[in-house]
């Protein structure tokens, strides 16, 4: 029961990152300020809000080349999540190993980010990822011993 649930979680993360990657690519093709203004208006988001304003400014500081590079990196990242998700939903053993390796490889980066900028969301993401790794490792061990 948990394996498909983890798979859906990974798949949804991949789709969310894919949407952001497509958004970054869209920004690279046009006038980022105009596009961001339109998006914040359509989504009824205050562009001068603390978090949104900071994010908008960081995006506007990027040139077309950096937006394209960011988008490409996110496409790769999204692909990894979607491969994990589909494999876990299909209950493939390779996907369990792949997910353990990929998820565990990001733990040091997550800890570093928490040390730099602590926050409930970052800590929550770390806890979820550690729980996923622990569950999958225990499952893989049981299969090997059983």
17-28, pLDDT tens digit by residue? 999 999 889 888
Confidence at 141, pLDDT banded by 50, 70, 90: very high
pLDDT for position 136:
96
CA–CA gap between residue 47 and residue 97 (Å, rounded): 42
89-93 contact pairs (CB < 8 A, 24+): 89/3, 89/4, 89/7, 89/8, 89/11, 90/7, 91/3, 91/4, 93/140, 93/143
User: Quick one: pLDDT at residue 146?
Assistant: 66
Q: What is the pLDDT of residue 44?
A: 79
139 vs 27, which has greater pLDDT? 139
Query: Quick one: pLDDT at residue 40?
Result: 81
Contacts of 100 (CB under 8 A, 6+ apart): 133, 136, 137, 140
- Asked if residue 96 lies in contact with residue 139, where contact means CB atoms within 8 angstroms, the answer is yes
Angle at 9 between CA 89 and CA 36, to 5 degrees: 130
pTM of the model: 0.81
pLDDT tens profile 78-88: 999 999 999 99
Question: Per-residue pLDDT averaged across 55-75, rounded?
Answer: 88
- Among 28-32, 62-66, 70-74, 104-108, the range scoring the smallest mean pLDDT is 28-32
Task: Please report, for the chain, the start and end positions of each structural domain, with discontinuous segments joined by +.
Answer: 1-91, 93-146
């Amino acid at each position: 029961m948990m394996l498909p649930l983890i798979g859906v979680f990974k798949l949804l993360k991949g789709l969310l990152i894919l949407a952001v990657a497509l958004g970054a690519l869209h920004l690279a093709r046009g006038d980022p300020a105009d596009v961001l203004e339109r998006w914040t208006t359509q989504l009824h988001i205050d562009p001068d809000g603390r978090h949104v304003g900071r994010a908008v400014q960081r995006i506007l500081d990027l040139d077309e080349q950096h937006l394209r590079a960011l988008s490409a990196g996110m496409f790769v990242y999204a692909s990894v999540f979607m491969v994990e998700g589909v494999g876990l939903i299909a209950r493939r053993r390779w996907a369990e190993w792949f997910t353990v390796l990929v998820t565990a490889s990001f733990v040091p980066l997550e800890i570093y980010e928490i040390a730099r900028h602590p926050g409930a969301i970052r800590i929550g993401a770390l806890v979820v990822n550690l729980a996923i790794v622990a569950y999958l490792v225990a499952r893989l061990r049981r299969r090997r011993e059983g």
